[in-house]
Amino acid sequence: MTPAPLAARLRDPRGPLFFPVTAYGPDGSLDLDAYREHVRRGVAAGAAAVFACCGTGEFHALLPEEFEACVGAAVAAADGQVPVVAGAGYGTALAVRYARLAAAAGADGLLAMPPYLVVAGQEGLLRHYREVAAATELPVIVYQRDNAVFTPPTVVELARTEGVIGFKDGLGDLDLMQRIVSAVRTEAPGDFLYFNGLPTAEQTQLAYRAIGISLYSSAVFCFVPEIALAFHAALREGDRTTAERLLDGFYRPFVELRAQGRGYAVSLVKAGVRLRGLDVGEVRPPLHEPAEDHVKQLARLIERGYALLEENA
Among 35, 129, 168, 208, the one annotated catalytic: 168
Q: Which of 81, 60, 57, 79 is nearest to 70 (CA)?
A: 57
Count other C-beta atoms under 10 Å from residue 7's C-beta: 17
Residue 296: active-site member = no
Distances in Å between the Cα of 102 and the Cα atoms of 35, 74, 77, 129, 223 are 17, 11, 15, 16, 25
Interatomic CA distance for residues 27 and 38, integer angstroms: 19
Q: Which of 195, 190, 134 is nearest to 167 (CA)?
A: 195
Interatomic CA distance for residues 293 and 80, integer angstroms: 40
Residue 168: active-site member = yes
| Cβ–Cβ < 8 Å for 206, 241 | no
What single DSSP character describes residue 106?
T
| Cβ–Cβ < 8 Å for 114, 150 | no
What single DSSP character describes residue 283?
P
Among 24, 35, 98, 143, the one annotated catalytic: 143
Name 86's bridge partners. Answer: 52, 110
- Residue 238: what are its φ and ψ, rounded to 5°? 70, 25
Residues that are catalytic = 143, 168
